[in-house]
Chain A
Amino acid sequence: MTNALTDLLATREWLLLDGATGTNLFEMGLMSGDAPELWNVTEPGKIKALHQGFVDAGADVILTNSFGGSRYRLKLHHAEDRVFELNKRAAELAREVADKAGRKVIVAGSVGPTGEILEPVGSLSHADAVAAFEEQIEGLMAGGADVIWGETISSEEELRALAEAAANKGAPLCATLSFDTAGRTMMGVTSRHYAEIAPDLAARPIAIGANCGTGASDLLRTVLGITEAAPDAIVIAKANAGIPKYVDGHIHYDGTPELMADYARLARDAGARLIGGCCGTKAEHLRAMRAALEGHERDGRPSLDEIRARLGEFSSASDGTEATGEGAEGRRRRRRG
């Protein structure tokens, strides 16, 4: 099965993804606590300007403004009955910009977590999660998304529900997890584990990888983990532009365009083919990343020491992929027997 993304991947070594949605919408006046997805209807010009800025900076793939577009997330803004409309509009806006780019630009329909915890630990049933994702995917595909793009997922259960929804809707899927807790996701998934389960998901992702998390160094360690466990996988790297800082009432990420350019080179060396930025990444970062990738001769896999030296310290000593493998194994067990 081919689609716009696999077709483009067949002709290119690497593709540049886009940058941050939230960070940039704040700069355009989005207020803390407001739903970015509502802007697809109330401020379409600003959403298109956001996409246009990324396309002009060289992005080959743009993500729709629909991260929080599931009914569980929209409920907070009393918009849970507008899932189809808001997601369709999100895809249409990105589509308009992509189709006028003068080169091939892929529209990826962003799907973030529901914010709920799935059974058995939490209360959201698998069936309800699948239904919610299906609803969002329907809107995105109706609006012209080329591929569904799961982001910032932390639980295996939620990933499986998303993949099932994509399979049920016949939508091509890419999915990135956020590895933000000692190199694992909040729910304990390691990079290796993700690489191992990905091929057997209900919809096999075209590409797998990592986004957001805790800085570029950690994210590249995750990419190394994935590419080691699944050398043939197409891998996504979408790191934050540094660390969030609070300056004059706004969140500012401290990663410079130069740092992100170097991160992009290292991501390529680590084996990622789809490279972009997450929170804090602006058009100026993307431009630097594009230039860096175009001028870069792919080098060998970087060592952790090299990543540390060039991008900064890791947030944790280990990322749970060491020899023991099985991660969250309790060190104590019910004894006697």
Chain B
Amino acid sequence: MAEEDDIILSELDDEELVQQMHDDLYDGLKDEIVEGVNILLGRGWTPYDVLTKALVEGMRIVGIDFRDGILFVPEVLLAANAMKAGMGVLKPLLAETGAPRLGTMVIGTVKGDIHDIGKNLVSMMMEGAGFEVYDLGINNPVENYLEAIEKHQPDILGMSALLTTTMPYMKVVIDTMKEKGIRDDYVVLVGGAPLNEEFGKAIGADAYCRDAAVAVETAKSFMARKHNRAIAAG
């Protein structure tokens, strides 16, 4: 649309540009996000500030409207894709500068389940919130989860299922972790359309997350608690 083309991102001051990037994330405008990221970097912003102030904050707004039923999966996927494009620019720079990560997560859809829409959303929103995410994809037997948590030593394990036929498998994973005595080393979050809070409790998960936005909030609050405990202990 012509009038939208009239916005010249490079002519906006920092504050306006960040606001504009929040809007562009909301509208899923990938190219504009990459451009905005590059402009901020060019103005001397640290990669970490670009990530948190422009991208993470923008995705937080998207998350709120998703949670409140104003945005739906297609819009959130577009927003997440735009964020991912911006992350593509930032990721190598973040690695170089050793920017702090909020935490680490291993996530995957359980055995027998090929549905990954919800899981991908959580994965992208968690990345958007500043977590390191290792995505195991679909159809994961318990061995895959064990191998990945051994390898990546995450703070959080996330499991997803869209079918009533596959959701009981989450308990298989949690029970196996208990047998191995490693259950309490990780925060286990579960989600998926047929699940509910009671189910999460019944199978021994730390929390059920209704949607990707709630998953991010829940993950953050567990990380804050972990941090506080560490301080108290230290």
Say which residue of B4, B77, B114, B198 sits within 8 Å of A245 (CB atoms): B198
When A244-B164, A330-B26 are in contact, do A188 and B139 touch as well, CB less than 8 Å? Answer: no
Instruction: Decide if B23 is an interface residue (CB 8 Å cutoff).
Output: yes
Cα–Cα, bound, A152→B191 (Å) = 19
**Is B77 touching A32 in the complex (CB atoms < 8 A)?**
no
Contact A181 B69 (CB under 8 A): yes
How distant is the Cα of A119 from the Cα of B227 in the complex, in angstroms? 42
Whether A32 touches B165, Cβ cut-off 8 Å, given contacts A245-B202, A316-B69, is yes
A92 at the interface (CB under 8 A from B): no
How far apart sit A264 and B113, CA to CA, in the bound complex (Å)? 31
Question: In the complex, which of the residues A30, A117, A331, A333 contacts B70, with contact meaning CB atoms closer than 8 Å?
Answer: A331
Closest-CB distance, B93 to chain A (whole angstroms): 26
Query: Which residues of A have CB within 8 Å of B3?
Result: 337
Please report the C-alpha to C-alpha distance between residue A36 and residue B163 in the assembled complex, in whole angstroms. 12
The A67-82 residues at the B interface (CB cut-off 8 A) are 72-73, 75-76
The residue from A183, A320, A328, A335 contacting B23, defined by CB atoms under 8 A apart: A335
Q: Is the CB of B24 within 8 A of A334?
A: yes
CB-based contact B20/A334 at 8 Å: yes
Q: At the interface, yes or no: A285 with Cβ under 8 Å from chain B?
A: no
Q: Are A244 and B199 in contact (CB under 8 A)?
A: yes
**Which residues of B in the span 11-40 have a Cβ within 8 Å of any Cβ on A?**
20, 22-24, 26-27, 29
Establish whether residues B72 and A279, one from each chain, have CB atoms under 8 Å apart when the complex forms. Answer: no
CB distance from B19 to the nearest CB of A (A): 8
Nearest CB to that of B200 among chain A residues?
Answer: A246
CB distance B72 to A332 under 8 Å? no
The answer on a CB contact under 8 Å between A244 and B23 is no
Contact of B165 with A36 in the complex, beta carbons under 8 Å: yes
Nearest to A279 among chain B residues (CB) is: B164
- B196 CB, min distance to chain A CBs, angstroms: 6
For chain B, the count of residues having a C-beta within 8 Å of the partner chain is 48
Closest to B169 in A: A32
Contact B78 A121 (CB under 8 A): yes
Whole-angstrom distance between the alpha carbons of A34 and B70 in the complex?
36
Interface centre among A22, A30, A316 (most CB of B within 10 A): A22
Alpha-carbon distance A180/B72, docked complex (angstroms): 11
| Residue among B22, B69, B72, B77 making CB contact with A318, cutoff 8 Å | B69
Whether B164 and A333, one on each chain, are in contact in the complex, defined by CB atoms closer than 8 angstroms, is no
Q: Flag whether B73 is at the interface (Cβ < 8 A).
A: yes
User: Which chain B residues lie closer than 8 Å to A36 at the CB level?
Assistant: 165
- Decide: A186 near B165, CB < 8 A? Known: A32-B112, A33-B111: no
- Given A22-B165, A245-B202, A337-B7, the answer on whether A184 and B72 have CB atoms closer than 8 Å is yes
Judge whether A336 is part of the interface by a CB distance below 8 angstroms.
yes
- Chain A residues with CB under 8 A of B139: 76
Expressed in whole angstroms, the minimum distance between the Cβ of A328 and any Cβ of chain B is 5
The answer to whether A23 and B164 touch across the interface, beta carbons within 8 angstroms, is yes
**Contact yes or no, B24 A30, CB < 8 A:** no
A188, B23: Cβ atoms closer than 8 Å: no
A117 touches B117 (CB 8 A): yes
Chain A residues closer than 8 Å to B198, beta-carbon distance? 245-246
> At the interface, yes or no: A182 with Cβ under 8 Å from chain B?
yes
In the complex, the chain B residue whose C-beta lies closest to that of A337 is: B3
Instruction: Assess the B199–A32 pair: CB atoms within 8 A.
Output: no
In the complex the two chains form, is A333's CB within 8 Å of B27's CB? yes
> Could you say which residues of chain B place their CB within 8 Å of the CB of A244?
164, 167, 194-196, 199
Query: Counting CB contacts under 8 A, is B183 at the interface?
Result: no
Which residues of B from 65 to 79 have beta carbons under 8 Å from A? 65, 69-75, 77-78
Lowest 6 A-B CB distances belong to which pairs?
A: A33-B112, A188-B72, A182-B69, A337-B3, A246-B202, A121-B74
Interface residues of B (CB under 8 A from A): 3-4, 6-7, 20, 22-24, 26-27, 29, 61, 65, 69-75, 77-78, 110-115, 117, 138-139, 163-169, 171-172, 193-196, 198-199, 202-203
A residues sitting closer than 8 Å to B (CB atoms) are 22-23, 26, 30, 32-34, 36, 72-73, 75-76, 115, 117, 121-122, 154-155, 180-184, 186-188, 243-247, 249-251, 279, 316, 318, 320, 327-328, 330-337
A182-B69, A336-B6 provided; 16 other pairs, C-beta below 8 A? Answer: A22-B163, A32-B165, A32-B172, A33-B113, A73-B114, A76-B114, A76-B139, A121-B73, A154-B73, A245-B199, A251-B167, A251-B168, A330-B70, A330-B75, A331-B70, A333-B23
